[in-house]
Chains A and B, each alone.
Chain A
Amino acid sequence: MAYTPQLLELMKKVEETRPSRVGVNFPRMSQEERRDVLEKFHPDYIEDGFRKIKVGVDKGTRLPTEMADVFESWSRLRDVDLDLNAPPDYDVDVLIIGGGGAGASAALDAHAAGADVLIATKLRFGDANTMMAQGGIQAADKENDTPAIHYLDVMGGGRLENVPELARALVMDAPLVIKWLEDMGTMFDKKEDGTMITIHGGGTSRKRMHAARDYTGAEIMRTLRDEVINKGLTVIEFSPAVEVILDNEGRAAGAVLYNLETEQYQIARAKTVIIATGGSGRLHYRGFPTSNHYGATADGLVMGYRAGAKTIYADSIQYHPTGGAYPPQLLGLLVTEKTRGLGATPLNINGEQFVYHLETRDVESSAIIRECAERGLGVPLPTGITAVWLDSPLIELTHGEGTVERQLPAMMRQFQRFDVDIRKVPMLIYPTLHYQNGGLLIDENGHSSVENLYVAGEAAGGIHGTNRLMGNSLLDIIVFGRRAGRDAAAKSKDMPVPEKLNLDHLASYHRELEETGAADDRIGPILLPHYTHR
Chain B
Amino acid sequence: MNDKIAMVDIFLMGKRYTVPETLTIIDAMEYAGYQLVRGCGCRAGFCGACATVYRMAGDYELKVGLACQTKVEDGMYLAQIPFFPGRKANFNLEDIKPSTAHFTQLYPEVYRCLGCSSCSKVCPQDIDVMQYIAYIQRGDFEKAADISFDCLMCGLCVSRCPANIVHYNAALTARRLYGRYIAKPDPFLVERAKAIEEGKLDAEIDELVAADDEKLQELYNTREIEK
Contacts and interface: CB of A to CB of B under 8 A. Distances in A.
Contacts of B69: 414, 417
Contacts of A140: 192
Given A147-B205, A222-B172, A532 B35 contact: yes
B197 A195 contact: no
Nearest to A419: B71
B24 interface: yes
B41 A293 contact: yes
A215 B149 contact: yes
B167 interface: no
A448 B196 CA distance: 26
B30 A531 contact: yes
Nearest to A127: B41
Nearest to A129: B42
A146 B201 contact: yes
B13 interface: no
A195 B149 contact: no
Contact of B216 (A155, A171, A260): A155
Contact of B41 (A131, A165, A178, A179): A131
Nearest to B221: A31
A141 B188 CA distance: 7
B14 interface: no
B201 A176 contact: no
- Interface hub of B88, B90, B192, B223 (most chain A Cβ within 10 A): B192
Contacts of A164: 209
Contact of B223 (A131, A178, A205, A532): A205
Given A200-B226, A261-B37, A528-B35, A185 B175 contact: yes
Contacts of A344: none
Contacts of A141: 186, 188-189, 192-193
A469 to B, nearest CB: 12
A409 interface: yes
Nearest to B2: A384
A457 to B, nearest CB: 16
A223 interface: yes
Given A187-B149, A229-B88, A294 B42 contact: yes
Interface stretch (B53-61, B111-119, B158-166, B176-184): B176-184
A385 interface: no
Contact of A123 (B41, B197, B204, B217): B41
Contacts of A152: 208, 216, 219-220, 223
B220 A232 contact: no
Interface stretch (A64-72, A106-114, A326-334, A395-403): A326-334
Interface string A147-189: 1110111011000100011001001100110110011111110
Nearest to A194: B184
Nearest to B206: A168
Contact of B205 (A128, A172, A188, A196): A172
B201 A147 contact: yes
A206 interface: yes
Nearest to B35: A532
A140 B36 CA distance: 41
Interface stretch (B43-51, B73-81, B130-138): B43-51
B93 A185 contact: yes
B190 A195 contact: no
B105 interface: no
A185 B178 contact: yes
Contacts of B99: none
A328 B22 contact: yes
A188 B45 CA distance: 21
B190 A179 contact: yes
Contacts of B85: none
B188 A190 contact: no
A500 interface: no
A193 B187 contact: yes
Nearest to B30: A531
A195 to B, nearest CB: 6
Contacts of B42: 127, 131-132, 293-294
B41 to A, nearest CB: 3
Contact of B93 (A144, A184, A534): A184
A410 B220 CA distance: 34
A264 interface: no
A215 B150 contact: yes
A155 B220 contact: yes
A318 interface: no
A15 interface: no
A433 B70 CA distance: 23
Interface in B133-156: 145, 149-150, 152-153
A410 B189 contact: no
Given A160-B216, A172-B205, A144 B196 contact: no
Interface in B202-220: 204-205, 207-209, 213, 216-217, 219-220
A182 B224 contact: no
A124 interface: yes
A528 B47 CA distance: 17
29 contacts: A124-B41, A128-B41, A132-B42, A143-B188, A146-B201, A148-B207, A153-B223, A156-B223, A160-B216, A176-B193, A182-B179, A184-B93, A184-B176, A185-B177, A185-B178, A186-B179, A187-B175, A193-B187, A194-B184, A207-B226, A217-B46, A218-B47, A230-B91, A293-B47, A328-B22, A410-B45, A413-B150, A528-B35, A532-B31
Interface of B: 22-24, 27, 30-31, 33-38, 40-47, 49, 69-71, 88, 90-93, 125-126, 145, 149-150, 152-153, 172-173, 175-181, 183-190, 192-193, 196-197, 201, 204-205, 207-209, 213, 216-217, 219-221, 223-226
Given A127-B41, A192-B184, 5 more contacts: A140-B192, A152-B219, A183-B180, A213-B150, A218-B152
Q: Across the A-B interface, give the 8 residue pairs with the lowest CB-CB distance, nearest first.
A: A194-B184, A185-B176, A127-B41, A156-B220, A185-B179, A185-B180, A531-B30, A148-B204
